[in-house]
């Protein structure tokens, strides 16, 4: 079985999750940045990761999934600045899954990631009060994804692989 872990990450959070997932996979495996890929070919299962941007997948990931997910078995992993328990997350995750048009989305992992200082400064200037509120709560995101969240990602990868192979 051949597995590809593909990710985009502007500030490194999703990359940490990608690497945790990749290390846990016991199979013929590759890890690639999304921008290195022309499409999804030659693997049985694709773990595709990206940050949440404006209540849905980051633009480059959205376009990539819309163009390349069809007919593929896909597992999504996503980082976002909000706490995992936030009421809005499920709707945003739905937006992420919807981008994988025609794909078979087997499962989705998500966790909090640090909001970088640079991004917080940018969001503070937004017209959207929700964006400004996140920027002001940056301190609550510092250090994420932490060791516990990366461990959750590893358990997720292990369980997903077990189910997929079984």
Ligand X SMILES: Cc1cc2nc3c(=O)[nH]c(=O)nc-3n(C[C@H](O)[C@H](O)[C@H](O)COP(=O)(O)O)c2cc1C
Residues that bind ligand X (CB under 6 A): 9-14, 51-55, 79-82, 113, 115, 119
Residue 126 has phi, psi (to 5 degrees) of -70, 155
Nearest-CB residue to ligand X? Answer: 113
Least separation in angstroms between residue 42's CB and ligand X is 25
Between 61 and 69, CB nearer to ligand X: 61
CB 57 within 8 A of CB 99: yes
Least separation in angstroms between residue 2's CB and ligand X is 25
Least separation in angstroms between residue 34's CB and ligand X is 11
CB 145 within 8 A of CB 112: yes
Residue linked to tokens 């376009």: 63
Between 14 and 160, CB nearer to ligand X: 14
Between 27 and 33, CB nearer to ligand X: 33
Between 12 and 39, CB nearer to ligand X: 12
Distances (CA, A) of 73 to 2, 43, 89, 95, 114: 12, 9, 23, 18, 29
Least separation in angstroms between residue 113's CB and ligand X is 2
By DSSP bridging, strand 56-57 and strand 45-53 are antiparallel
């Amino acid at each position: 079985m051949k597995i590809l872990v593909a990710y985009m990450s502007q500030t490194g959070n999703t990359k940490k999750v990608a690497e945790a997932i990749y290390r846990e996979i016991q199979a013929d495996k590759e890890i690639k940045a999304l921008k290195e890929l022309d499409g999804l070919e030659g693997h049985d299962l694709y773990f595709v990761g990206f940050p949440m941007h404006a209540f849905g997948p980051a633009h480059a990931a959205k376009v990539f999934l819309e163009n390349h997910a069809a007919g593929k078995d896909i597992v999504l992993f996503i980082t976002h600045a909000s706490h995992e328990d936030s009421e809005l997350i499920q709707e945003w995750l739905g937006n992420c899954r919807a981008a994988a048009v025609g794909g078979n989305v087997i499962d989705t992992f998500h966790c909090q990631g640090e909001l970088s200082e640079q991004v917080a400064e940018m969001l503070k200037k937004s017209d959207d009060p929700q964006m400004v509120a996140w920027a002001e709560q940056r301190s609550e995101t510092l250090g994420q994804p932490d060791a516990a969240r990366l461990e959750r990602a590893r358990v997720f990868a292990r369980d997903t692989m077990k189910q997929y192979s079984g």
